[in-house]
Amino acid sequence: MVRLGFTISAALALSACMQAGTVQEPRNTGRGIAAKLHTGVTKAEADVALGFDAGYERNPNDFDEACASYAYDVGDKTEYVHAVFRQGQLTRATDGHLTLCTYAAPAE
């Protein structure tokens, strides 16, 4: 009976990990700005929370996904929150970025 309980617990934990890989809560990478958002908010709701985006780009390989960059000042420099939306809802957000989010290939 204990073994069955352990097996069920392990299966549930594994299931939660697999789901967490596809949808992530906004993550604070230094400034805490991304924490103003939560998974599932719309682009309009993110605009209200963070101000209008400084850049918005659709993923050319998957038009259901887009990334918006929200600017905020840190002393004498500007940093950005990268908010990724899938089918119009936030799936993940991180802050502390020095450039706008983009799907373009990096320059070599």
Question: How far apart, in whole angstroms, are the C-alpha atoms of residue 3 and residue 35?
Answer: 39
Long-range contacts of 80-88 (CB under 8 A, 24+ apart): 80/54, 80/55, 81/33, 81/34, 81/37, 81/50, 83/26, 83/34, 83/37, 83/46, 83/50, 83/53, 85/42, 85/43, 85/46, 88/42, 88/43
Residues 6+ away with beta carbon under 8 Å from 77: 98
49 has pLDDT over 80: yes
Q: What is the pLDDT of the chain when averaged over all its residues? A: 78
Task: Provide the token pair at 57.
Answer: 């780009």
Range of lowest pLDDT (30-39, 56-65, 69-78, 96-105): 30-39
Fold of 24-108: Beta-lactamase Inhibitory Protein; Chain:B, domain 1 (3.30.1450)
Q: What is the pLDDT of residues 66-94, one digit of tens each?
A: 999 999 998 899 999 999 999 999 999 99
Residue 108: what pLDDT? 65
Say what the pTM is.
0.70
5 has pLDDT over 50: no
